[in-house]
Amino acid sequence: MKQFIAFVKKEFYHIFRDRRTMLILLGMPVVEIILFGFAISTEVKNVRLAVLDPSNDVVTRKIIDRLDASEYFTVTARFHSPQEMEAAFRKNKIDMAIVFGERFADGLYKGDARVQLIADATDPNMSTSQTNYAASIVSSVGQEMLPSNVSVSRLIPDIKLLYNPQMKSAYNFVPGVMGLILMLICAMMTSISIVREKETGTMEVLLVSPVKPLFIVLAKAIPYFVLSFVNLTTILLLSVFVLDVPVVGSLFWLVMVSLLFIFVSLALGLLISSVTSTQVAAMLASGMILMMPTMVLSGMIFPVESMPIVLQVISDIIPARWYIQAVRKLMIEGVPVVLVLKEISILLLMAIVLITISIKKFKYRLE
């Protein structure tokens, strides 16, 4: 029993002396509670709503004011033509639009008022929730505006879903799965592979070889780059031929953006390997830094717009967020590459910054 207690004390000493382990043990539960408590939400919030209202009467203004006053919608634009509305959807400036028919108030009293809700259905669950919330508000305001002596049928909006009218969930999770798989294979496996050399002592043998240290690191990263490209090809083939998710936009630019994201992930893995010395530490750091934020804060499952401002700011530094957003635009919405330049520029900047820091942090001499 004394020997058992001595071993228990020894393990406590090891944990207390390792600041990184202490941070993981004490800090990670706090981070997870915050993420699961605030980021994981299926509620509709901050939906960017556009209005096309040729009638502009007292009833339509009442409906628009009620939508804007709710916590779910924010009226961000008013259009005068369907072409302006379509362009806003393609540029990802709005999430939903409400279109009123002409002489809406007169039609309401006669029982033939027309109103249409148009939503971006790349995320089927959120688009369904958004249209249901809006339809409920429109219907209630329509009933309120009718005189007590007028009895007409209930006002039911006509709902139109863009990009994914069949409401297939695969349209939503395929881009997210692509980002998660590429991130984990490139970053996590690269970091563990290099740390394994340090831990077993073989990195010293490699560094004293005639090959320059930078090329040694690149040689270890290239296999993961190739594997990631194979995984990308497999995912696209399965998406098109098994899940019936078409590549609506340019396949060439989809592959180019994916290769850029793979390079960012490799640079991130190299950075993790530079600041860790054991495989366990690299695995925990990769899981805490890559897997959890990628799943929760990248928009893979839950919309970033529904999160608190603090978490929205944090999500801006997660590479997977911009990659998933670019894939949804190119693959699902089929927009031209000029509308994805923002995401490409951010990923390119991240690649330059990460690879520069990684090379400077990498220790070419082992202690």
From CA 67, how far away is CA 235, in angstroms rounded? 40
SS3 sequence, 176-238?
A: HHHHHHHHHHHHHHHHHHHHHHHHHCHHHHHHCCCCCHHHHHHHHHHHHHHHHHHHHHHHHHH
pLDDT of residue 78: 92
Task: Specify whether 209 is located in the same domain as 322.
Answer: yes
Task: Specify whether 138 is located in the same domain as 177.
Answer: no
Task: Specify whether 218 is located in the same domain as 327.
Answer: yes
Task: Specify whether 28 is located in the same domain as 51.
Answer: no
Q: Is residue 79 part of a domain?
A: yes
pLDDT tens for residues 79-119?
989 899 989 988 888 989 999 988 888 888 777 788 999 99
Are residues 182 and 262 in contact, defined by beta-carbon separation less than 8 angstroms?
A: yes
Q: Is the pLDDT score of 271 beyond 80?
A: yes
Burial class (CB in 10 A: 0-12, 13-18, 19+), 165: exposed
Domain count along the chain: 2
Burial class (CB in 10 A: 0-12, 13-18, 19+), 280: middle
From CA 209, how far away is CA 253, in angstroms rounded? 39
Q: Is residue 153 part of a domain?
A: no
How many CB atoms sit inside 10 A of residue 158's CB? 12
Selected residue with higher pLDDT from 267 and 366: 267
Selected residue with higher pLDDT from 242 and 261: 261
Boundaries of domain holding 249: 1-40+169-361
pLDDT of residue 15: 60
Task: Specify whether 260 is located in the same domain as 334.
Answer: yes
Question: What phi, psi does 158 have (nearest 5°)?
Answer: -90, 125
pLDDT of residue 344: 93
Supply the DSSP symbol for 103. T
pLDDT of residue 37: 47
Task: Specify whether 247 is located in the same domain as 344.
Answer: yes
Task: Specify whether 303 is located in the same domain as 247.
Answer: yes
pLDDT tens for residues 135-147?
888 888 888 877 6
Q: Is residue 239 part of a domain?
A: yes
Task: Specify whether 233 is located in the same domain as 340.
Answer: yes
Joined together, the tokens standing for residue 40 give: 């994981």
Q: Cα–chain-centroid distance for residue 242?
A: 23
Q: Is the pLDDT score of 235 beyond 70?
A: yes
Task: Specify whether 193 is located in the same domain as 274.
Answer: yes
pLDDT band for 277, please (50, 70, 90 cuts). confident
Residue carrying the six token digits 């690299």 = 282
Sheet with 96-100, strands from edge to edge, namely 73-79, 47-52, 96-100, 115-120, 158-162
Task: Specify whether 126 is located in the same domain as 15.
Answer: no
pLDDT tens for residues 147-195?
665 555 556 677 777 766 655 656 667 777 778 778 877 777 777 777 7
Joined together, the tokens standing for residue 219 give: 């040689």
Q: Is residue 161 part of a domain?
A: no
Task: Specify whether 58 is located in the same domain as 203.
Answer: no
Selected residue with higher pLDDT from 296 and 250: 250
Residues shown for the chain: 367
62: domain CATH number?
A: 3.40.1710.10
Supply the DSSP symbol for 46. S
The single-letter code of the amino acid at 216 is: I
Is the whole model's pTM more than 0.85, yes or no? no
Q: Is residue 307 part of a domain?
A: yes
pLDDT of residue 98: 93
Q: Is residue 249 part of a domain?
A: yes
Average pLDDT of the chain to the nearest whole number: 78
Q: Is residue 306 part of a domain?
A: yes
Are residues 253 and 337 in contact, defined by beta-carbon separation less than 8 angstroms?
A: yes
Average pLDDT score over residue span 28-32? 59
From CA 327, how far away is CA 187, in angstroms rounded? 19
Q: Is the pLDDT score of 262 beyond 60?
A: yes
Joined together, the tokens standing for residue 274 give: 């530079």
Q: Is residue 156 part of a domain?
A: no
Percent of the chain with pLDDT over 90: 15
Task: Specify whether 83 is located in the same domain as 185.
Answer: no
